[in-house]
Amino acid sequence: MHLQQRFNVRCHGAGDTTLVLAHGYGCDQTMWRLLAPQLSPRYRVITYDLAGCGAATAAYDQQRHASLHGHAEDALEIISQFASGAVVFVGHSVAAMIGMLATIAQPQHFAGQIMIGPSPCFINDGDYVGGYNREDIDGLLQFMLDDYQKWSDTLGGIIMGTPERPELAQELSTRFRANDMAIARHFGRVTFLSDHRADVPKSTVPALILQCSDDLIAPREVGQWLHQHLPNSRIKVVDNQGHCPHFSAPAASFDIIDGYLSKVLKL
């Protein structure tokens, strides 16, 4: 299958800079629909579905995607074929780590990286605050095995974090439920058990860490840890509850992202 079909690659806009937008766990590229139109007038924007998500179910290989490195290789293939000019990888949640691994593997391809709600490790470890104990993560994964539909509904609300706008959480839960359950469970283990803290200092490509002020999935301590250990990084906080500011606070997210691109990276 052609690369474009395999990952449902879509290209929008025009410009000397290419922004590659990669969604988080269990979602698909429609999660960018409120932000991408604001970026496409000035930039070439590429969206795609991560392997195993959305229309890219057939692209998932349990061996290749047993770690986030396989997803990073996918991203590099897409960039090689569809990007032009300076490239900035914009990754949400687990995709922020996928983008970081891609910048380590082939830094020459990137002018910058934007990490939205990133976490190199979800599990607390000594002085490191990831937000969860190992028992919490094991319980989350077991919940997924026991009742995937209920897990989807519960996590949709926790991740979106907008009780005053229940339709957003419902949309996210619907995305989760649409995934192949076997793939979602496998990718869930890869996502929530990954630990890429040792890789963080290896990424020297300029980075923006964009966090929500109140995020149960990636707490503020995680962003601060990343900022301290990620060379050439800046951190900005969106006044927003939840883990998806590009979806629940797109205007504020756009202002920060566009300002970083134009003023800091001078793109």
Q: Which of 65, 152, 215, 253 does the annotation list as catalytic?
A: 215
CATH code for position 39: 3.40.50.1820
Residues 6+ apart with CB under 8 A from 221: 129, 131
State the pTM of this model.
Answer: 0.97
To 10 degrees, what angle do helices 134-146 and 148-160 make? 130
| 49 is known as an active-site residue | no
Q: Which of 243, 246, 248, 253 does the annotation list as catalytic?
A: 243
pLDDT at 164: 87
12: in domain: yes
pLDDT at 137: 97
Number of domains, the chain: 1
Tokens 């990636």 belong to which residue? 218
| 93 is known as an active-site residue | yes
What strand order describes the sheet that includes 233-241?
10-12, 44-48, 17-22, 86-92, 112-116, 207-214, 233-241
pLDDT at 163: 86
126: in domain: no
| 215 is known as an active-site residue | yes
Q: Domain residues for 93? A: 3-120+197-264
pLDDT at 51: 98
pLDDT at 14: 87
The sign of the CA dihedral 98, 101, 105, 109 is positive
61: in domain: yes
Count of C-beta atoms within a 10 Å radius of residue 205: 24
Q: For each of the chain's 267 residues, which pLDDT tens digit applies?
A: 699 999 999 999 988 999 999 999 999 999 999 999 999 999 999 999 999 999 999 999 999 999 999 999 999 999 999 999 999 999 999 999 999 999 999 999 999 999 999 999 999 999 999 999 999 999 999 999 999 999 999 999 999 998 889 999 999 999 999 999 999 999 999 999 999 999 999 999 999 999 999 999 999 999 999 999 999 999 999 999 999 999 999 999 999 999 999 998 998
102: in domain: yes
Count of C-beta atoms within a 10 Å radius of residue 184: 23
Structure token pair of residue 4 = 């474009």
Compute the distance between CA of residue 7 and CA of residue 81 in angstroms, rounded to an integer: 12
CA neighbor of 95 nearest in space, from 53, 142, 137: 53
Contact (Cβ atoms closer than 8 angstroms) between residue 131 and residue 219:
yes
Q: Which of 65, 92, 93, 173 does the annotation list as catalytic?
A: 93
